[in-house]
Amino acid sequence: MTTRLPLIAAHDREALRGLYARGWEPQAETTARVAEIIATVRREGDAALAAYTHRYDTPNLATPPLAARIPTTAAARTVLPDRVAEALELAHDRVAAFHRRQQIGDRYHVDDDGTVSAMLIRPLGAVGAYVPGGTARLPSSVIMAAVPAKIAGVDRVVVVTPPRPDGSIDPAILYACALCRVDELYAVGGAQAIAALAYGTATILPVDKIVGPGNLWVTEAKRQVFGICGIDGLAGPSEVLVVADESADPRLVAAELVAQAEHDPLARVAVVSDDRTLLERVADLLASPFATECGREATVTHVLEHGTYLIAARDRHEILDVIERFAPEHLHLAVRDPWSISAAVQSAGAIFAGEQTPVACGDYLAGSNHTLPTSGAARFSSGLRTADFERTVSLIANSTARMEHDAPLLEAIAAFEGLPAHARTARLRRKGTTA
């Protein structure tokens, strides 16, 4: 059991500094080591991938295979428990439905003078999805990346995932790849997999964007290759903020905190409420066997001792202030009227409204994407969505009337900015002008 946690006043910014910490700041040693791995993969290609895989994942397999065959869905399903297969199938269908609703298509507008302006939607050519597969096997991450990519029209969806010690890939990940029509699958993980996706090797051709969760090394590698290709974001440890009122069940509130705590020893979990009695009951539960009876005791205990916050607010204003300052990855509203609070929230990765909507729904079966911004990034970014696998291209077609009207003004502003050749392109289109 852990020490009983104290309540923290919502206006005590110093006590909540750890909760509000933002950004991605790996240690210099990690940054240097990842840079070395990326440089080695760029220089040595497949040989480097094989060497790193042997060192970190398959110590008893001297020459681990890189490419993996994706079985048929029927064949892959036979080795999975029925309930797991059914859950993955349901997740696939709901994620597909949710992300299809996000499609907008090309948009054209014609002004009164006949000028056409448009926003054209074009899919990315190739996307790489990193899927954890070592100590944490996450077939759900295949679905969260591959399904919206396919809906967007991406031609080539590539999955990389660490192999098991014998060089094979977890059967659930294989089934998810088959279910999602993944085009290529490689048994390689870590920063080296990110380097391969960004720069390419003889076996793995480069991609346009890399998405998906990963550990410290993977995330730092994504940061370092950004610009060579796109990335979805820099995902830090898991986060949850539960907003609770007097109607909330303390056991359900405590359970949400523990559920996120089991993800990562660096997770940040918090509850904010204007009901001190509720907070005291949650504190009692977290100091009891309830907190660790599900397992992963070491990880959960570490988070409860170092990354858990029970926040006492005086009113709704303070509750909303905590939400915006934290900008949590997951926001669970365990309140009588979740809609009034959700309408006021500006910064959160995903909102789970009401007692019957645990955050775990979003991890698997809700249909929304579980790749979400962390470390305050919800202030300026969104969870993974169909648009992340698309680009917009602007199209303008001036009418003669529009160009005649704009030419002198276009010439003037271009000349003012010191770009005479720009000005000439406008001048040449003015009636009666030859130079």
Write out pLDDT tens, residues 117-171. Answer: 999 999 999 999 999 986 678 999 999 999 999 999 999 999 999 999 999 999 9
Interior/surface letters 35-63, b for 16+ CB within 10 angstroms, e for the rest: eebbebbbeebbebbbbbbbebbbeebee
pTM for this entry: 0.93
CATH number, residue 74: 3.40.50.1980
d(Cα 241, Cα 330) in Å, to the nearest integer? Answer: 6
pLDDT at 135: 63
Please list, in sequence order, all residues whose beta carbon lies within 8 angstroms of the beta carbon of residue 416, skipping any fewer than 6 positions away.
none
Domain count across the chain: 3
d(Cα 248, Cα 127) in Å, to the nearest integer? Answer: 42
292 pLDDT band, cuts 50/70/90, is confident
Q: How many CB atoms lie within 10 A of CB 109?
A: 9
Q: How many CB atoms lie within 10 A of CB 135?
A: 7
251 and 284 housed in the same domain:
yes
215 and 242 housed in the same domain:
no
Q: What is the CA radius of gyration of the chain?
A: 26
d(Cα 378, Cα 432) in Å, to the nearest integer? Answer: 54
- Specify the amino acid at residue 348: A
Tokens 């065959």 correspond to: 69
What's the Cα-to-Cα distance from 37 to each of 31, 63, 203, 366, rounded to whole Å?
A: 10, 19, 18, 37
Task: Report residue 331 CA to chain centroid gap.
Answer: 15
Res 72 pLDDT > 70: yes
80 and 165 housed in the same domain:
yes
Boundary residue ending a domain (166, 199, 231): 231
85 and 207 housed in the same domain:
yes
330 is catalytic: yes
Single out the catalytic residue among 330, 332, 370, 390.
330
248 and 227 housed in the same domain:
no
240 and 205 housed in the same domain:
no
246 is catalytic: no
Angle at which helices 139-152 and 82-100 cross, to 10°: 30
Is residue 435 in some structural domain? no
pLDDT tens-digit map of 211-261? 999 999 999 999 999 999 999 999 889 999 999 999 999 999 999 999 999
pLDDT at 25: 85
Percent of the chain with pLDDT over 90: 89
Single out the catalytic residue among 329, 332, 370, 390.
329
Q: How many CB atoms lie within 10 A of CB 119?
A: 14
411 and 374 housed in the same domain:
no
Extended strands (E) in 72-112: 107-110
Is residue 28 in some structural domain? no
Q: Which domain holds residue 348?
A: 7-16+236-380
N residues, the chain: 435
Boundary residue ending a domain (174, 201, 231): 231
